[in-house]
Amino acid sequence: MKKHNVTSLLKMKQAHEKIVALTAYDASFAQLFDQQNVEVILIGDSLGMVLKGQEDTLSVSVKDIAYHTRCVRAGAKKAFVIADMPFMSYPDANSAYKNAATLIRSGASMVKLEGGEWLLNTVAGLVERSVPVCGHLGLTPQSVHVLGGFKVQGREQNQAEKLINEALALEAAGIQLLVLECVPSSLAKLISEKLTIPVIGIGAGPHTDGQILVMHDMLGVSANYMPKFSKNYLNATGSISGSVKQYISEVKSQTFPGPEHSFD
């Protein structure tokens, strides 16, 4: 049994093999995804919306993420497990170090932080302290009130240039993975080509190094709404295991996401 790690994911990018990722929040689904060979499992602060029924992710705490990380780790034996750092758990470097340590001790192999330039010193400090970091650019749900809602980012030239520069700066600071959310497909393609690390897209078109979906969206059972960039695989297959298999197959064959799930 071979476990996935930052090296195996980097090799997949270099071999032009698409990386498949899903969120999970408990041992049972983590085990199912693991058995189907999902390479990356994220304990997302999306749990605020899909588990708690909130309108955004802002109510999620480090304690929440740590609990669900322990549950996921119990079920995932091969997948690379990433835990979200929730809202205001990394306002400064020392807070980030403390809260990241909690999530790593809970079973995460990497933590994910939302933001660009303001995070560079924090990212470098985490990496220096042996905490692997995943960046997150584009639509950053923790900034929903600043952004004025869940909106596509990077459509204007100045926004696109900023995202490119921030992606490169984050890579230089030490991130080993990047999530791009809700950006135009052409911009996501450019960033994926410029970075040497894997780029995982969600609402970022088909040209990133991999794809991630919230599991409830993939199964069509989200409490609030179905995002444009998602697809209800349960409706198409009729079973949970079949849904996961179909999602993996379509990501690997680059038939998902299609134009209807992407932004110009």
CATH code for the domain of 101: 3.20.20.60
Indicate if the pLDDT at residue 226 is higher than 90: no
For the question of residue 181 being annotated catalytic, the response is yes
| 156: amino acid identity, one letter | E
Structure tokens at 151: 């909106």
C-alpha distance across the termini of the chain, in Å? 40
Whole-prediction pTM value? 0.97
What pLDDT shows up at residue 147?
87
Q: What is the mean pLDDT of residues 211-233?
A: 90
Residue 189, SS3?
A: helix
| 208: amino acid identity, one letter | T
- With respect to residue 1, please indicate whether it lies within any of the assigned structural domains: no
Kind and range of the H or E element at 211? Answer: strand 210-213
Annotated catalytic residue within 156, 181, 193, 250: 181
The pLDDT tens digits for 4-60 are: 999 999 999 999 999 999 999 999 999 999 999 999 999 999 999 999 999 999 999
| Torsion 28-29-30-33 (CA) sign | positive
The pLDDT tens digits for 151-188 are: 899 999 999 999 999 999 999 999 999 999 999 999 99
- With respect to residue 132, please indicate whether it lies within any of the assigned structural domains: yes
- With respect to residue 233, please indicate whether it lies within any of the assigned structural domains: yes
Residue 75 — pLDDT band, cuts 50, 70, 90? very high
- With respect to residue 178, please indicate whether it lies within any of the assigned structural domains: yes
Residue 239 — pLDDT band, cuts 50, 70, 90? very high
Average pLDDT, the chain: 96
Residue 1 — pLDDT band, cuts 50, 70, 90? low
Residue 252 — pLDDT band, cuts 50, 70, 90? very high
Q: Rounded distance, CA 220 to CA 226, Å?
A: 7
- With respect to residue 60, please indicate whether it lies within any of the assigned structural domains: yes
Annotated binding-site residues for 3-methyl-2-oxobutanoate read: 45-46, 84, 112
Structural domain total, the chain: 1
Residue 224 — pLDDT band, cuts 50, 70, 90? low
- With respect to residue 133, please indicate whether it lies within any of the assigned structural domains: yes
The pLDDT tens digits for 198-211 are: 999 999 999 999 99
- With respect to residue 75, please indicate whether it lies within any of the assigned structural domains: yes
Indicate if the pLDDT at residue 225 is higher than 80: no
Q: Rounded distance, CA 258 to CA 245, Å?
A: 17
The parent domain of residue 27 ranges over 6-261
- With respect to residue 90, please indicate whether it lies within any of the assigned structural domains: yes
Annotated binding-site residues read: 45-46, 84, 112, 114
Annotated binding-site residues for Mg(2+) read: 45, 84, 114
Higher pLDDT residue, 198 or 146?
198
Structure tokens at 71: 């549950």
Higher pLDDT residue, 225 or 253?
253
Q: Provide the pairing of β-strand 133-138 with 110-114.
A: parallel
The label of the residue with tokens 């990077």 reads 154
